Amino acid sequence: MPPRNLLIERLHQLQDRLGGLRRRDLAALAAEFRLAPSEVFETASFYAHFRMLDDDETAPTATVRVCNGPSCAMRGAAALHGGLRAGLAPDIAVEEAPCMGLCDHAPAVLAGKVPVRTADFAKVSEALKQGPSPSPAPSPAACRTLARCLDGSLSRDAVMAALDGSGLRGMGGAGFPTGRKWRSVAAQAGPRLVVVNADEGEPGTFKDRHFLDTAPDQVLEGALIAAWTVQADSIHIYLRDEYPDLHQRLAGLIATLPAGGTPIHLRRGAGAYVCGEESALIESLEGKRALPRQRPPYVAEVGLFGRPTLVNNVETLYWVPAILGNPGIFDGQGRNGQKGLHTYSVSGRVARPGVKIAPNGLTVTELIDEFCGGMEPGHRLVAYLPGGASGGFLPASLQPPLAFGTIEPHGGFIGSAAVIVLSQADDLRVVAQNLTRFFAHESCGQCTPCRLGTAQAAELLDRPVWDRDLLDDLSHVMRQASICGLGQAAPNVWQSLLRHFPEFAP
Ligand SMILES: Cc1cc2nc3c(=O)[nH]c(=O)nc-3n(C[C@H](O)[C@H](O)[C@H](O)COP(=O)(O)O)c2cc1C
Ligand code: SF4
C-alpha cells in the first residue's frame, strides 16, 4: 500500500496520462491507498489543477491557463483569453488562472506544460504544437560550502551564528529570523525534516522562479546545509505546478547529487495559493487538502508526519551558502536607515521589470529610477503595491523604505517584496476588484470569516457605491478571526484603497 503522502503525486500521474480524473479511476486509487473514495475525491477536488471528470466525459487534449494577475491584466490578458477561447481548437481547454510568476513578461500563459512569456495567439499555438523542450543535462552541483560542513571546517553552531550575524530573515514573507528558526528546530527531538517552500503564489512575486532558474544548485545546497545543521533525515521540495520547466531542471539536478546524501523528495503543488502558507503546505505534502493549521509547524508535534520540520522559502535557502562564503555579504548595503540587501520582484508600469537584488530599504522611486530604468514611457507613478496582493496599496506621495516593518504604519506590509507599479493608466478600483476576487477564489473555505468575508467583499466592491461601514466591519472580523494570513491580509486591499485613494472608492 503506498503511503498517503504520495497521493497528490499519483493524482498528477493519472491526470498527466488521462487528461483528467474520472470517478472510476479515483475509486481504484482509493482502493490502492486503502482510503475511503470520498477522501481521495475531496483531496483531488480541492486543487484547481486537477480536472474532475465523469466516467463518460472526454478530457481536453490540453489546458491553456491565461494569467489574470494584476500585471498581466494591465497588459491585455483578458483580451488574450478571449482570443484563445475563440481561436484555439475546441478540444483545448482555455482557462483564466491566478499569477504564474512571470509578471515581468506579462501577459503570461501556461500552454500545457510550457510557460509562454509576453504571450500572444501565435506563441501559444506554437507552444502547444512543440510541447516542452527538454532541458540540457545539468552539471553536477558543486556544493563547496556543504563540503566544508561535512569535513568539519564549519560546525553547526558556526553556521547558525553566521546566519544570526548576517541578519537573514525568512524571505517567504513573514521575515522570521532564519538562524533563530533553525535553532528552534534543532533543539527539538529528532527525527527532523526540512521543507523547501517553492510554492510562490503571491500575485506579483517571481523571485523564487528566478533563483531556481539561475542558481538551482545554490538553493539545493542551502537546503542540504539546513538539513545537515538541524540534523534532518530528508528534504521535501514543494514546487508549484505552474513551474513545470523548473520541475524538470530540479529533478535533473537532484539526480546528479552523490548517492548516500540526504534524500530529496521533489513534489508538485496543484494550483492552490494557500499551499504557500507553511502549515497548509505540510498538509498538502501529507496528501490531503491544504487546510492551514492553527499553530506554526516548526512546533514539534504538528510538523510534517508529526516531526519537527524546518520550512524555508527558496530565496532564504539561496542566501545560506552565500552568507557562509562571505559572512559580511549584507554589511553596509542598506539605504534609508535599513541594513542588507532585499530582492524585489518589480512589475507593472516600469521600463525594465524584473528581479532586482538591491540595497534593502530603497524607496519605490529609488527602486524604479536606479534599478528599473524609470517608468515606462508615458506613465507617471500614481500608486504601488509594495507586497503583492496582500500588502495593500500605497500612493506615490508615501515612500517609506521598502523593508520589513516599515509599511505597517501605512496599513500594509512588504511580504515577499512583490512591487507592482501603477500609473495614471490604471483604474485602482478595478485592480482592487481583481485582487479581492483572487482572495475569494483562493480561500480554502475552512473558516467562516475568510470564506464568506472574501466572497462578500468581492460582491461589495462590484457595487456602484461602496458600503464603507460594512467593509470596515468585514475587515475587522476577518483580521481578528481568520485562521491564517490569507483571510487576515485580504482586507488590506480595500482598506488601503479607502485610506489612501478615497477617489477610487465610490
Ligand atoms: C496565504 C499565505 C501564502 C504564503 N505563500 C508563501 C509562498 O508562496 N512561499 C513562501 O516561501 N512562503 C509563503 N508564505 C509564508 C510561509 O507561511 C512561511 O512563513 C515561509 O515559507 C517560511 O519560510 P521563510 O522563513 O524562509 O520565509 C505564505 C503565507 C501565507 C499566510
Ligand atoms: S483564513 Fe481563509 S485560507 Fe486561511 S484557513 Fe481560513 S478560510 Fe482557509
Q: What is the mean pLDDT of the chain?
A: 96
Domain residue extents for the chain: 4-53, 62-130, 155-325, 341-423, 428-504
CA distance 102 to 70: 11
pLDDT band with cut points at 50, 70 and 90 for residue 301 = very low
Closest C-alpha to 194, from 214, 178, 173, 216? 178
Ligand 2 site residues (CB inside 6 A) read 274, 292, 443-447, 450-451, 482-484, 486-487
Whether the link from the prior residue into 132 is cis, omega within 30° of 0, is no
**Is pLDDT of 299 > 60?**
no
| Rounded CA separation 324/375 (Å) | 37
Q: Which is it for strands 418-423 and 381-385: parallel, antiparallel or unpaired?
A: antiparallel
Closest by Cα among 105, 113, 80, 106 to 95: 80
Distance between CA 282 and CA 276 in Å, rounded? Answer: 9
Measured distance CA(111)–CA(116) in Å, rounded: 7
Give the model's pLDDT for residue 296. 58
Cα-to-centroid distance, 416 and ligand 1 (Å): 8
For the beta sheet containing 109-111, the strands, ordered from the edge strand earlier in sequence to the opposite edge, are 92-97, 62-67, 109-111, 114-116
pLDDT at 267: 98
| CA torsion, ordered 147, 148, 151, 155, to nearest 10 deg | -130
CA distance 497 to 313: 29
Q: What's the whole-number mean pLDDT along residues 212-231?
A: 97
**Ligand 1 contact, 172 CB (< 6 A):** yes
Question: Residue 504 has what pLDDT?
Answer: 84
Beta carbons within 8 Å of 232's beta carbon, 6+ residues apart: 191, 192, 193, 194, 226, 262, 310
First to last CA, the chain: 58
pLDDT of residue 295: 67
Express each pLDDT in 137-195 by its tens digit: 888 888 999 999 999 999 999 999 999 999 999 999 999 999 999 999 999 998 999 99
H or E segment to which residue 57 belongs: none
User: Domain 62-130, CATH 2.40.110.10 — does that match?
Assistant: no
CATH 3.40.50.11540 fits 155-325, yes or no: yes
- Grade residue 218 by pLDDT with cuts at 50, 70 and 90: very high
pLDDT digits 0-9 by tens, 384-436: 999 999 999 999 999 999 999 999 999 999 999 999 999 999 999 999 999 99
Q: Which range (80-94, 131-145, 233-247) has the least confidence?
A: 131-145
Binning pLDDT at 50, 70 and 90, where does residue 300 land? very low
Q: Using the predicted structure, report yes or no on whether residue 250 has a pLDDT greater than 50.
A: yes
Task: Report residue 298's pLDDT band, with 50, 70 and 90 as the boundaries.
Answer: low
Tell me: domain 4-53, CATH 1.10.357.10, correct?
no
The widest CA-to-CA distance across the chain, in whole angstroms, is 67
Average pLDDT over residues 234-258: 96
Which residue among 176, 313, 318 has the greatest number of ligand 1 atoms within 8 angstroms of its CB, and so is best to mutate?
A: 313
Question: For residue 419, which phi and psi values (nearest 5 degrees)?
Answer: -95, 110
Characterise 275 by phi-psi region: left (phi > 0), alpha (psi -120 to 50), beta (else): alpha
How confident is the model over 6-48, as pLDDT tens digits?
Answer: 999 999 999 999 999 999 999 999 999 999 999 999 999 999 9
The rounded Å distance from CA 452 to ligand 2 centre is: 10
Measured between alpha carbons, how far is 331 from 120 in angstroms, rounded to an integer? 44
User: Pocket of ligand 1, candidates 206, 211, 240, 278: which has the most ligand atoms within 8 Å of its Cβ, to mutate?
Assistant: 278
Residue 374: is it exposed, middle or buried by C-beta count within 10 angstroms (0-12/13-18/19+)?
Answer: middle
Q: Check residue 294 and give its pLDDT.
A: 82
Q: Residue 344 carries which side chain, given as an amino acid letter? A: Y
The CATH classification number of 341-423 equals: 3.10.20.600
Determine the pLDDT at residue 498. Answer: 96
Q: What number of residues does the chain have?
A: 506
Q: How do strand 232-239 and strand 264-268 relate by DSSP bridges?
A: parallel
Q: What is the CA radius of gyration of the chain?
A: 22
Domain 428-504 has CATH 1.10.10.10: no
| For the CA of 274, the nearest atom of ligand 2 | 3
Q: Is the pLDDT assigned to residue 297 strictly greater than 60?
A: no
* Cα(316)–Cα(169) distance, integer angstroms: 7
